[in-house]
Structures are given as structure tokens and as C-alpha cells.
Structure 1
Amino acid sequence: MTSLVTPPDHSGIERLCNNARREQFLTAPALPGIERIEARFYGDMFSPHRHDTYALGVTLHGVQTFTYRGTRQFSQKGHIIVLHPDEIHDGGAATDVGLRYRMLYLEPSLLRRGLGENCGSLPFVAQPVFSDPALCATLLEMLAHLDSDLDELLIDQLVCGIAEGLSRHTKQPIRHSKNLAVPRLERARQFLESNSTNSVTSAQLEDVTGLDRYSLIRQFKACFATTPHRFLVMRRLHRAKLMIAQGDPLAAIAAETGFADQSHLNRHFKQAFGITPGRWADMIRPQNTPASALMA
């Protein structure tokens, strides 16, 4: 997906530069049409190069600088960077404190599907560095946990969100259908409810509803105020709460409610309820129940 004129010389995902300041490149597991990385370095790093993908990033530390479309650009912490396919650019840290950022490389064909059937040309964002809290949150969710895969339903939700976010910064916003396919959406809801502990794929929901996955996401959210992925996760979490109240061990709860492992349960539980499942268990556990029984 990336064509480097002069690629950085590093072995593995980390290397130590001559001045003993650490440079680090982390690469997430491969996903169809998606590449995710984190980079930390000092000074100039990348010579002019181009990608055949959209390059969408968030600056996490320091000041990121690059030349793009004939202009020197600067991105500070929390800013979004959007580089279009086949546009030459370089990259480096603008200050002595170094640079840390995460970047998503998204194939144009995947973004086009996320835009929906009625989209025109691919979105062109004229300003390569800008602030957009909603889009930033979506990108950071896609770029979180680089050491693990992403759930398919979540990937489609995030691609849909990125497509909508980019469209907000163009003159071609996505046009949402005013006519919801309510009976089809209800079939999706019932399928998710019945299969909340199973691995549900976007293809299954397409078969159940006859809607393409991105139209389904938009219409499901308009109808039920949440996405299919979020709905599925919340069904699992509500069941986990019931099992915690019964005193079941958290590891067993994670396995029986459809989470990959206990840490996966912990992460989603805290995101949903603002507290870890272990602490929740301590709060609702009868006084004579030892904590070790729940954590086993």
C-alpha cells in the first residue's frame, strides 16, 4: 500500500539511533484494505514518497511536519492529518522533543464502499491538517490496540464513520435516506439479540436484511440510536452483569458472553459503565464472598 522512495532502515519494529534516542515503529496485524502503525522518532525521517491509499493520522506527541502539495504543513497534538492517494510528501519531527503519531492507511475501494451507493467521486479534503473531535475519536478507536485484530462489525462501523467524517470536510456530504427499511432493521436487531454470544459477521447481517453493510449501519443507527456492533457488545455486557451478580468468575464470564478473553471484557465493560468488572463485582458482592472467588 505504501511506496517509499527511500524507506527507513530498521530491523523488526524497533531500532536505536546513533544518538541513543529511541525510534520505534509498531505495525498492527494485517486487515483487508487497512494498515495501522505507530511511529516515534526525532528529526527528519521520511524522504519524499507516496501511498496508493488514504493516509489518515493523529498526532499524539510533539509537532509533525511534512511537505504536501507544495506547502510545509505542521500538525500538533490532537490534530488530524489527511493525505490523499498518490500525493508526494515527506515527514519528520518539527521540534527537539520528538514525535509520536498513529496512522491508518485505508484503500480507496474500501472508503468508497463506506460512502454508500450514491456517492460521487472520492472525498478530497483540501486542508491536510485540521481539528475534528468526532473524526479524531473514530480514528483513535480504529488505531487503538495495535497488537490485536479488530472485530469485523467494528471495522465496518469505523470505516463508515471515517467516510462520514471525511465527507464533512468536502463539498459532497453523504446524503442519508429518509426512508428506513424498518422490517429489515428489526430482523437485524433480532438476529443480533439471538446471537449475542456468537461471532456475528457483516456478511451474515447482509444475508438477514438484504442491505449492504454500510447502509445497514447508517439505517440501524437512525432506527435504534446505536450501531450493530455497539448493540451486540451491549447485549454481551448486560449478560456479563447478570453473571457477575451470580458470583461467576470473570474469566468464565468473558468466555461465555462472547468476549475474546477477560481483558477484552474488562476494556468494553469500563468503556460502557465507567468501572472495571472486578470493581463492580466488589461493590455488589455479598460481604461474605471472598474476592478471589470472582477473580478465579
Structure 2
Amino acid sequence: MRYWRLPDRPVEAMRAHFEQHSYHLHTHDTYSFGLTEFGAQTFGCRGESRTSAVGMVMAFNPDEPHDGHSATELGFTYSIVHIGPELIADLLSDKAGRATGLPLFDRPVLHEPVLAAALTRLRASLARPASALARDEALAATVAALVDRGARSAAPAARGGADTVIAGRARCVLDDRYLDDLGADELAAAAGCSRFALYRAFKASYGLSPSDYQRLLRLRAARRLIVAGTPVADAAVAAGFADQAHLTRWFRRCYGITPGTYRQAASPARFQRT
């Protein structure tokens, strides 16, 4: 596998071949687009099992739960690009600078050759030395292709109901206190419900259990610390993991790479201006 991260843009990319690796259910705080190059990947998303074969694009909205594993004995090769929603919003703003709304991808698997080609060009611009202008142009072209080929312009309407209220309260607590050793009783009390009602509401609203969501917040905190130059072992403890081995295990299960590989990709020296 290889992993790249732009030092001055919320853009990351990976190209990898997996045979036995199985992704744990996880989310990204970015838009994430995977292009299958060999074999096929099966993944769960939005309550259904999906398969992406050669040439197909997987499209995940921010915070959309999914997992994944090979659908064949020979494994699969794919590239995935992660783009921060703030960058998408900036690239889609109109000429007057007004936000036009973030796109929503309502199909997790797209068969769009034009989009696949744009993603290939973008990943290539990250993988080799390129000027900042060339990378920005590849990024803008990819976002345009994504919106034209697979997105709706309006975000979904907010859901109402008791479950949404319960889940929202619990999420606020987790967002504020993800480093704390919170128990189900404490979280349920803050949400104003029973432990069972909390789990059911949270899972229905976000597709993850509260513990999975807390772990993802800790993983994101570790990523930020690593990018800032914190040694991996120190980042692990500061982000709420028992030790570096604990962080590494979950980093690989959710992202397919080790924290050390991510640290190398986060180095600005990897990108040379030409």
C-alpha cells in the first residue's frame, strides 16, 4: 500500500491491495471516493451489502458508516481519495463567493467512467511530484466530475423524533468527553433514557454504537496529533488509547494502514514543487 496526504489541503489518498484484511465498521469526517482497480470489494453501507467491481466508484458522505472486505480469493486493489467537506464547499461556491450547499451522494456505488478517470488523475497528482497549481486543478476537476455524475446538491432534511433527540444528546456528550471512560449508565442519564433506548436510538441515527463512535473520535484525535508531529506512542496515550499497540490495531482495522505509515505520509517533505 501507499498513502499520501497534502500538507496544505484536507486531501488524503491511498492505493492498496488487500486479500485478507477486513475493515471494521467506521466513518470518515471527509467525503471518501474509492475506485476499484482489480477484483471486487464487498461492503456494508446504509443497511445493505454492496459490491464494487473493477471500474466502479464507491462514494461515501462524511460520517457515513461502512466496512469492507475482498469479495474474491485473489483480493482487490483500489485507490481511495478523502476530501474535506470544507474544501468541497469552497470549490463549489459561486462566483460571488456564496456557498451553494454541500453535495449528497445517494448511491454508494457508481459506475461512471468519467468520474473514475478523474479520480485516477487526482490520485496520480498526489503520488508524484507536481506543482501546487497542477494538484489544485486536478482536485477541482475531480470535484466537478463528482458533483456532475453522482450527487444531489441539497443536503437531506434533518430527521425528527425522540430517537434523534436522544442520539443527539449522547453525541454531544461524546464529542465533548470522548477521552473520558464513560459508562452506558452515565451516557443514558445525560440522554434521558434507558441504556437499551440509548443504544437503539444512537445506532438508528448514526449507524454506529456509541462505543464505536467514541473510538472514531479518538482515532481522529490521534491523526491530528500525528500530523502535528507528536510521536505515535505519545499520540496514542493522549488520544485515549492504552498504548501504541492498541492505537495501531484500531488504526489498521479502520484505515487499512499503520500510524507510522500515516506519519510518513503527513510529512510536508513528501511533496516537492516543480
Task: Using structure 2 for the length normalisation, give the TM-score.
Answer: 0.51
Aligned partners of 2:36 and 2:78 also within 8 Å: yes
Does 2:153 match 1:172? yes
Aligned to 1:93: 70
Choose which of 138, 142, 164 in structure 1 pairs with 2:118.
138
Does 2:86 match 1:109? yes
Mapped to 1, the partners of 2:23 and 2:133 lie a distance apart of 34
Mapped to 2, the partners of 1:63 and 1:139 lie a distance apart of 18
Aligned partners of 1:66 and 1:92 also within 8 Å: yes
Mapped to 2, the partners of 1:104 and 1:28 lie a distance apart of 9
Does 2:4 match 1:28? yes
Task: Using structure 1 for the length normalisation, give the TM-score.
Answer: 0.47
Mapped to 2, the partners of 1:143 and 1:42 lie a distance apart of 22
Gaps of at least 5 residues in structure 1 are: 1-24, 174-258, 261-296
Deviation at 1:29, TM superposition (A): 4.7
Paired residues for 1:179-198 under 5 Å = none
Aligned partners of 1:123 and 1:166 also within 8 Å: no
Aligned to 2:53: 76
CA, structure 1 residues 30+163, in 2 after alignment: closer, same or farther (shift >3 Å)? closer
Aligned partners of 1:114 and 1:159 also within 8 Å: no
Deviation at 1:106, TM superposition (A): 0.6
Mapped to 2, the partners of 1:170 and 1:55 lie a distance apart of 13
CA, structure 1 residues 29+127, in 2 after alignment: closer, same or farther (shift >3 Å)? closer
Mapped to 2, the partners of 1:59 and 1:171 lie a distance apart of 23
Mapped to 1, the partners of 2:84 and 2:52 lie a distance apart of 23
Q: Which stretch of the first structure deviates more once superposed, 26-35 or 145-154?
A: 145-154
Mapped to 2, the partners of 1:87 and 1:111 lie a distance apart of 17
Aligned to 1:148: 128
Aligned partners of 1:28 and 1:148 also within 8 Å: no
Aligned length: 151
Mapped to 2, the partners of 1:160 and 1:29 lie a distance apart of 17
Mapped to 2, the partners of 1:147 and 1:165 lie a distance apart of 20
Does 2:20 match 1:49? no
Give deviations 1:222-270, integer Å, cap 9, x for gaps: xxxxxxxxxxxxxxxxxxxxxxxxxxxxxxxxxxxxx94xxxxxxxxxx
SS across alignment from 1:127: coil
Mapped to 1, the partners of 2:127 and 2:100 lie a distance apart of 35
CA, structure 1 residues 128+150, in 2 after alignment: closer, same or farther (shift >3 Å)? farther
| Root mean square deviation, CA, Å | 2.1
Choose which of 61, 64, 84 in structure 1 pairs with 2:38.
61
SS across alignment from 1:161: helix
Deviation at 1:27, TM superposition (A): 0.9
Deviation at 1:44, TM superposition (A): 4.7
Give deviations 1:92-121, integer Å, cap 9, x for gaps: 111112110001011111111111235432
Mapped to 2, the partners of 1:41 and 1:146 lie a distance apart of 21
Q: Between the two proteins, what is the percent identity of the paired residues?
A: 29
Letter in 1 for 2:25: P
Structure index of larger Rg: 1
Higher relative contact order (CA 8 A, sep 6+): 2
Letter in 2 for 1:73: R
Aligned partners of 1:26 and 1:39 also within 8 Å: yes
Aligned to 2:158: none
Choose which of 127, 147, 151 in structure 1 pairs with 2:107.
127
Aligned to 1:160: 140
Gaps of at least 5 residues in structure 2 are: 155-272
Mapped to 1, the partners of 2:127 and 2:146 lie a distance apart of 26
Mapped to 2, the partners of 1:122 and 1:149 lie a distance apart of 30
Aligned partners of 2:104 and 2:153 also within 8 Å: no
Mapped to 2, the partners of 1:128 and 1:172 lie a distance apart of 16
